[in-house]
Structure 1
Amino acid sequence: MRPSSEPQSLEGPDASRRGALLGMATVLAGASLSAAAPQLASAATPVVAVGTYLPAADGLPGFCLYSPDSKKTPAIRAGVIKPEPAYYQFAVPESWSEAPLLNPLTGNFCMPRCEEPWYEFKFEDGKEGTAQLVVTELQKLGAKRSATTADLGAPEQLIPRIGNFITGSFVPDEEDIVSAVPKKGADGLTYYVYEEGLAYLFIVTANDKQWGAAESKLRTMLESFQA
């Protein structure tokens, strides 16, 4: 997903952002991305803020903790995504709401053997941005069974293989990537964070106005994701 304006460097204390925050977090056992990006489409449904039904996120005032149950998505019901010990989770602002996904995008018609990536969720706030999770089997990128993303090579090597799925039309040049740095999460797993044009699995996006209004919230969401 391409931001609507030219990227700004995030280096230095005065760095600002005009565009999209796109974050990547790996590690659903055997999960990654490939193929061409389908377009998300939402039916007209009532907007229900997550703060009315999700539990509060510990240590994050104004955020709720989202973690699906055993019946939430087709991939979970089919046993493709397993709890180890949880399926996945992240902190979502209490004013955001979950958006509906068209049935084909969820993998409902192809589980448990989907050839294309599928969407697990989409959350949004019209004033602040969008968050969504996309999953596919790691073998689709040519990896052996039970492989990790580290087995596929450095982030720069992965970009040409997955970038077109996220952006929908192009693979970003390396100089357009502000960061592709591995870090250890609190769960001991390795996560990569990409900015400016590519996200791997967990994607948080915002336009110029949304970024200016909610940068800290978007970063908190990105950093809180675990799988």
Structure 2
Amino acid sequence: MSCMCTNVEGVERMALRAGTIKPDSPYTFILPPGFKELRISNTQNGNFCQPWTEVVYEDGKVGKVQLMAVPLLKLTNVKNPSITQLGTPAELLPRIGPYITGSYYDEDSLQAMSTLQPGDGLTYYEYELNSLDAASAPRSLTVATAKGEVLYLLVCTASEKQWKGAEATLRTVAESFRA
């Protein structure tokens, strides 16, 4: 399994994890200069039945970007479902909200949600949360899609202070994500 993370300078980087993401089906997203890759602890790697963190990047002025992969068997017994088969954006969010926040999902934290269809054949759900109880930063912008046996979550987070100056950058990162 592999991923491609292409930054604005065109540098590609491959990451390998638990074997569910197929090498012939990489994901991509734009990563602006200034972001540094963080090490992923064993507790973030997950296992066959839990989500795992694929890659994490951070820029102290902008925030953090992480790609999580959730085995779809946690969410459905349908083989290779599309994200729409998992439910509407509103139906899916309570099930994946704890993955986004790193703690629990409070429905009052939802700021906005939408459906994106960028033309790659997949449907993406976008969620903006302001969760004061989040394990990392309270502000998050997440893009989710299902492909193969994996639900991909690109989670961009920032503190309130970072969000004011970095919202546009994080939106560009999130909206560039393709699985």
Q: Same fold (TM over 0.5)?
A: yes
Q: Runs (4+) of structure 1 moved beyond 4 Å?
A: 65-68
Structure 2: distance between partners of 1:96 and 1:176: 27
Letter in 2 for 1:191: Y
Structure 1: distance between partners of 2:51 and 2:40: 14
Which residue number in structure 1 is paired with residue 175 of structure 2?
Answer: 223
Which residue number in structure 2 is paired with residue 105 of structure 1?
Answer: 44
Which residue number in structure 1 is paired with residue 157 of structure 2?
Answer: 205
Structure 1: distance between partners of 2:85 and 2:11: 29
Q: How much is the aligned-residue C-alpha RMSD, in angstroms?
A: 2.2
1:9-48 map, 5 Å: none
Structure 1: distance between partners of 2:11 and 2:71: 23
1:184 aligns with 2:117: yes
Q: TM-score, normalised by structure 1?
A: 0.62
TM-superposed CA distance for 1:158, in Å, is: 1.2
Percent identical residues: 37
Structure 2: distance between partners of 1:104 and 1:167: 16
Aligned CA distance change for structure 1 residues 189 and 65 (closer, same or farther; 3 Å) = farther
Which residue number in structure 2 is paired with residue 139 of structure 1?
Answer: 73
Which residue number in structure 2 is paired with residue 33 of structure 1?
Answer: none
Deviations 1:151-193 (A, max 9, x none): 11111111221212322332221x5423221111142321111
For residue 126 of structure 1, the aligned residue among 24, 45, 60 is: 60
Letter in 1 for 2:172: T
Larger strand share, 1 or 2: 2
Q: Which runs of 5+ in 2 are unaligned?
A: 131-139, 145-152
1:82 aligns with 2:22: yes
Q: Which runs of 5+ in 1 are unaligned?
A: 1-53, 58-62
Deviations 1:14-66 (A, max 9, x none): xxxxxxxxxxxxxxxxxxxxxxxxxxxxxxxxxxxxxxxx86x5xxxxx2456
User: Which SS does the other structure have where 1:130 is aligned?
Assistant: strand
TM-superposed CA distance for 1:146, in Å, is: 1.2
Letter in 2 for 1:101: I
Structure 2: distance between partners of 1:95 and 1:196: 24
Deviations 1:110-168 (A, max 9, x none): 4xxx1111000000001110000111111211231111121111111112212123223
Determine which structure has greater relative contact order: mean sequence separation of CA pairs < 8 Å that are 6+ residues apart, divided by chain length: 1
Aligned CA distance change for structure 1 residues 105 and 170 (closer, same or farther; 3 Å) = closer
1:67/1:88 contact within 8 Å kept: no
TM-superposed CA distance for 1:106, in Å, is: 2.2
